[in-house]
């Protein structure tokens, strides 16, 4: 039996910002710790297994004047692993939030029996990711792996309450996901869509 390809997904986190152009310019320090941990984990746990790095995060509404967080993640991983096989969201800025990010990544795979997803984030964030997987993806895709990272991303109770509530409302059909609600047009300075 052929081993399943692992789809490694480092869930987005902090970013450096250009306030003048309303754009992200790089992933932030916590995101770099998260990515470095995932790169080391892959080398240790899956040295010869087929791997696809997949980044689905867009940008939040106020920062969609430049590259997506996914594009910035790809750039960082390619600095460390130039020949990495990568699937990256370069255009879908409204793929922002854990649910939408996971949905973007999962929707780009076609054969559930051939891949297994591995998600990386701090333990408190993975609890939400596990709920999303259970509610939206497990029936079709089976189980996934969730690997806690050592970064010190800040836990914000108010944000978590809103995020968990939004997941339930989207699942119940009471609201649409961010990926189903386009952002308003923004004049983009010095950026071309890829």
Domain ranges of the chain: 5-180
Confidence of residue 192 (pLDDT cuts 50, 70, 90): very low
User: Quick one: tokens of 59?
Assistant: 């940008």
Supply the pLDDT for residue 184: 58
| 187 vs 24 pLDDT, higher one | 24
pLDDT digits (tens, 9 = 90+) for 53-103: 999 998 877 777 789 999 999 999 999 999 999 999 998 888 889 999 999
Give the pLDDT band of residue 194 (cuts 50, 70, 90). Answer: very low
Between 115 and 64, the higher pLDDT residue: 115
Which class for 158: exposed (0-12), middle (13-18), buried (19 or more C-beta within 10 A)?
exposed
Least confident of 47-56, 64-73, 114-123: 64-73
Which pLDDT score is estimated for 156?
86
Class of domain 5-180: alpha beta
Strand partners of residue 23: 18, 64
Q: How would residue 165 be classed by pLDDT, with cut points 50, 70 and 90?
A: very high
Q: What is the pLDDT of residue 189?
A: 46
Give 131's contacts (C-beta < 8 A, 6+ positions apart): 164, 167
Two tokens at 84?
A: 């990495």
Q: What is the DSSP string of 64-87?
A: BTS--HHHHHHHHHHHH-TT--EE
Please tell me the predicted confidence (pLDDT) of residue 190. Answer: 47
* C-alpha to C-alpha distance for 92 and 69, rounded to whole angstroms: 10
Cα(58)–Cα(95) distance, integer angstroms: 5
Please give the share of the chain, as a percent, with pLDDT higher than 90.
63
Maximum mean pLDDT: which of 4-18, 32-46, 164-178, 180-194? 32-46
């Amino acid at each position: 039996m052929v081993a399943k390809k692992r789809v490694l997904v480092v869930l987005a986190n902090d970013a450096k910002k250009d306030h003048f152009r309303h754009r992200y310019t790089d992933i932030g320090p916590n995101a770099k710790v998260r990515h470095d941990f995932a790169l080391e984990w892959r080398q240790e746990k899956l040295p010869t297994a087929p791997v696809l790095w997949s980044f689905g995060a867009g940008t939040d509404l106020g920062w969609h004047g430049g590259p997506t967080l996914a594009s910035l993640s790809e750039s960082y991983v390619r600095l460390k692993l130039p020949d990495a096989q990568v699937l990256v969201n370069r255009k879908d800025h409204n793929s922002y939030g854990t649910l939408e990010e996971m949905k973007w990544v999962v929707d780009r795979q076609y054969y559930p029996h051939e891949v297994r997803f591995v998600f990386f984030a701090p333990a408190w964030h993975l609890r939400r990711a596990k709920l999303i997987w259970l509610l939206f993806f497990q029936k079709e895709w089976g189980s996934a792996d969730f690997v806690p990272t050592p970064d010190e991303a800040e836990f914000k109770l108010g944000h978590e309450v809103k995020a968990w509530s939004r997941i339930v409302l989207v699942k119940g059909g009471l609201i649409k996901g961010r990926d189903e609600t386009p952002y308003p047009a923004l004049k983009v300075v010095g950026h071309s869509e890829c």
